[in-house]
Structure 1
Amino acid sequence: MTDSADALQDLKSLTVRRADHVAEVTLTGPGKGNAMGPDFWRELPVVFRTLDADPAVRAIIVTGSGAHFSYGLDLPAMLPTWAEFLHGESLAAPRTGFLDEIRSLQDAVSSIAAIRTPVIAAVSGWCIGGGVDVISAADIRLASAEAKFSVREVKVAIVADLGSLQRLGGIIGEGNLRELALTGKDIDAARAERIGLVNHVYDDQESVLAAAREMAAEIAANPPLVVRGVKDVLSVNTEQQVAAGLRYVAAWNSAFMPSKDLAEAVQAFMERRAPEYKGE
């Protein structure tokens, strides 16, 4: 347990609490609305792989601190990493570097799906972009009544590349996925439940977290090796296809993402105005 405890010390974007065979992972920012910056992407796979290696942990809950699950990617915090790629001629070296960056972020999200321990997402408030990627990689999703969801990347001139487009089809069906991904629209918890994005909706944040804890305890009471086996068998039908899709979209974005529309999206975000896209 010493090595496990050491690995989870000094986290900046997540907190971890373990009790009675259940671990709770809470997104804490530091960006507004638990936005996902460099610390998050570095720490997420460490946390989930460490918990998966702990035989005392039989189920994991992932949730957000404060009123929201996550606003998604912390764009101001991440932009400096991508500056060479997003500006200039974007020749082979910066494109290759950006491909590596995308794959690193993909691996962080995929660490949730790849572990053998079942993961329950408890969502309140906004769950946007990268937040949807994270909950898509979980095994079970629960929401409070005020929760809202958005696969919003299209609104900022980006093809979503961290797993939503690859995993959501099997969860909500291709028609619903295409509607959400092509429009970038927001949906409420009631719509999310109707299309199967979440299993159940509860009155408020306290209720959904209580329900997640009850479900995690129910899972943890079952034979742990069999539970892991069930997840492993279920995942073999999907994760190979997901992996192929992730490789494709990473290559696509490293080749085609730089555009005047993307620059306009970034500028509009910084100036807090609506973007004007021209297809350039």
Structure 2
Amino acid sequence: MTDLTCFRLDITDHVAHLVLNRPQALNTMNPVFWRELDHVLQQLHRGNDARALVLSSTGKHFSAGMALDAFGGAITLDDRSPEGRAAIFDLLGGMQATFSRMEELRMPVIAAIHGGCIGGALDMVSAACIRYATRDAFFCIQEINIGMVADVGSLQRLPRLMPMGLLKELAYTGRRLSAERALASGLVTELFDTPEALVQGALQSAREMAAKPPVALWGSKQALNYARDHGIEDSLRQMGWLQGAIWSNRHVHEAVSAQQQRRSAEFPPLAVLTPFAEIPSP
């Protein structure tokens, strides 16, 4: 168990469970939140112990989004000059990159959402592979209600997850989307009666995923993300290259043998990643 300022992290049986852990502040997102999330995602990506990730939360709401008080102190957006406005591009780029790390993580990511998932929190969970929710959960593109455009991923990722007409309605009005409508629209995969059942359901799914060959999970995520952004012909061509790169007769034999023998299969982990800049010089 690793306790951070904004999160709690546990890795058990190859499943990482990252919990937003500032319930007294409605799990709002301040600069520390971004630093810790970015660090955790980098470490999970480079390592090979975790094979699936569950993201859940504590308190009344999953997250109320950006900590607005940060804009009065830690974060300053200078709109007084073209140079200051240009700098907003790089500030936002860094924030966007953190959520993109979740999308690019070498493992499936399940977001377990209870209560409100508001503003930046919706940006974050839109980068997950799968979203589960409690029946009392709701989603809100809050930015329009405070005079700005949602800018950290919702408007870019959600068009691929739900009907465009419904998304435009939410983006233009700031209305709440109920869990039932989120399920019907495809944003959410399954609903649970309580937060406890939600987390257990998400962890159970993650355990099922973690029992598969990690390189096949990586390959499946690569193929799905590529197909989302490309045409069928290009995606089929990429699939041929991808399958040729990761095919393993040993993995297939182990999976089939384990099923026949009614036992758990054993698969090797992904390689630990060491960035080139961190390799010791000879």
**Which structure features the higher share of helix residues?**
1
Counterpart in the other structure of 1:169: 159
Q: Give deviations 1:32-62, integer Å, cap 9, x for gaps.
A: 1100001011121211121122212110000
From 191, 202, 216, the counterpart of 2:206: 216
Counterpart in the other structure of 1:77: 70
Counterpart in the other structure of 2:127: 137
Counterpart in the other structure of 2:16: 23
TM-score calculated relative to the size of structure 2: 0.77
Q: What's the offset of the Cα at 1:64?
A: 1.0
Q: How much is the aligned-residue C-alpha RMSD, in angstroms? A: 1.9
Classify 1:179/1:96 alpha carbon distance in 2 versus 1 (closer, same or farther; 3 Å).
Answer: same
Amino acid at match of 1:161: D
Report the Cα distance in structure 1 between the residues aligned to 2:229 and 2:128, rounded to whole angstroms: 12
Q: Give deviations 1:59-81, integer Å, cap 9, x for gaps.
A: 00001112211000001023324
Report the Cα distance in structure 2 between the residues aligned to 1:21 and 1:11, rounded to whole angstroms: 20
State yes or no: 1:153 paired with 2:136. no
Amino acid at match of 2:88: F
Counterpart in the other structure of 1:231: 221
Report the Cα distance in structure 1 between the residues aligned to 2:66 and 2:77, rounded to whole angstroms: 19
Amino acid at match of 2:154: S
Which 4+ runs in 1 deviate beyond 4 A? none
Counterpart in the other structure of 1:35: 28
Q: What's the offset of the Cα at 1:171?
A: 0.5
Give the match's secondary structure for 2:26.
helix
Structure 2: gaps (5+ residues): 232-282
State yes or no: 1:115 paired with 2:91. no
Q: What's the offset of the Cα at 1:148?
A: 1.1
Q: Which moved more, 1:121-130 or 1:25-34?
A: 25-34
Structure 1: gaps (5+ residues): 1-7, 242-280
Counterpart in the other structure of 2:45: 52
Q: What's the offset of the Cα at 1:82?
A: 4.0
Report the Cα distance in structure 2 between the residues aligned to 1:50 and 1:26, rounded to whole angstroms: 16
Q: What's the offset of the Cα at 1:24?
A: 0.5
Amino acid at match of 2:210: A
Identity %: 37
Report the Cα distance in structure 2 between the residues aligned to 1:15 and 1:78, rounded to whole angstroms: 25
Amino acid at match of 1:235: N
Say whether the 8 Å CA contact 1:193–1:199 is kept in structure 2: yes
Say whether the 8 Å CA contact 2:2–2:10 is kept in structure 1: no
From 182, 188, 198, the counterpart of 1:192: 182
TM-score calculated relative to the size of structure 1: 0.78
Q: Which moved more, 1:99-108 or 1:9-18?
A: 9-18
Task: State the aligned residue count.
Answer: 231
